[in-house]
Amino acid sequence: MTKLSYAKALNRALADELARDPAVCVFGEDLGAGLSGLTPGLQDRFGADRVVDTPLSEQAFSSLALGAALTGMRPVVEFQIPSLLFLVFEQIANQAHKIRLMTGGQTAAPVTFVVPGSGSREGWAGQHSDHPYGLFAHVGVKTLLPATPADAYGLLVSAIRDPDPVVLFGPAGAMGVREDVTEELVPVPIGSARVHRAGRDVTVVAAGHLVHDALAVAAELAPEVEVEVFDPRTLHPFDFTALFASVGRTGRLVVVDDSNRMCGLAAEVIAAVAEQGIALRAAPRRVTRPDGAVLPFALALDRAVQPDRAQLRAAVLAAVGAA
């Protein structure tokens, strides 16, 4: 049995793919130092011509990665903070994402964009704490949000091997999670959800690190309330078949999501269930950041803006009529 951390899982997946495929390369800042946890030891092992420390210009090295992908390489681009994705939305959403369609399938852009440490890291304030996965899911870019080390490994491997651009968010709240690994780590199919805990009373859809909060709340409320913890793992494409099956069994739905409420993942999940015509026994609930939330520097205010276990517990109890 091996104890594997989330950060080490990402590092191992990248190392395995660099060793397996000479077309894989990495671009980003401070990669040799491995500051974000994705690349420690990789530059020494694979060389600075494949694990490339770039100047401080996200737009430049994202464009470089796109060009490399168009010539047959499989670049991985690391961003140290999630807000940098706003700078390169053009390169990802308007260029890499559209190029297969706009060339009639003659070319593709197999670039993987990774943010190890997205969302709030307490005290990082407004411009370092965004969780903009909804933007990429909205425009149709393959968007991954693994919650566990094994899923982080498997989804990063699948992303690197995918023929299209993929954005993978490693939530800051999950980076320290450790998992007992008893089997060989394998790729996880993109678009496949996971039920972490079965239950018959209410489905809790939890994204990223909030899966662990949902599991803690489920354990606390058992055996009075049987909570089914549903982890989409992939936000686009979303495994709606598995979602509908879960909500169809429980008849109740709560979504907990560490992004802003307006036009967020929680709204999309609830809308999809409503359109499917699944008869719910109670109104669905959302636990999210507030509309237009910008995380402040003060720790107490930072924590107050984020969804937490107390809010989730109250939503679950309200859904089952116990509050």
Beta bridge partners of 26: 51, 76
* 310 Cβ contact partners less than 8 Å away, ≥ 6 residues apart: none
Nearest-angstrom CA–CA distance, 200 and 188: 26
Return the H-helix or E-strand segment holding 292: none
CB neighbour list of residue 6: distance below 8 Å, 6 or more residues apart: 148, 149, 152, 170, 174, 175, 176, 177, 178, 179
Q: Write down the residue that tokens 């011509």 correspond to.
A: 49
H helix intervals, the chain: 6-20, 42-46, 58-70, 84-87, 89, 99-102, 133-139, 149-161, 210-221, 240-250, 265-276, 299-305, 309-319
CA distance 27 to 65: 7
Active-site annotation holds for 128: yes
Distances (CA, A) of 207 to 48, 187, 266: 35, 19, 9
CA distance 257 to 289: 7
Query: Taking the CA of residue 83 as centre, how many other CA atoms within 13 Å lie in the half-sphere pointing to its CB?
Result: 11
Residue 253 forms beta bridges with which residues? 203
If 0-12 CB within 10 Å is exposed, 13-18 middle and 19+ buried, where does residue 19 land? exposed
Q: Which residue has the tokens 């190029």?
A: 99
Cβ neighbours of residue 9 under 8 Å, at least 6 residues apart?
149, 150, 152, 153, 156, 179, 185
Marked catalytic residue, from 128, 209, 212, 236: 128
Active site residues: 128
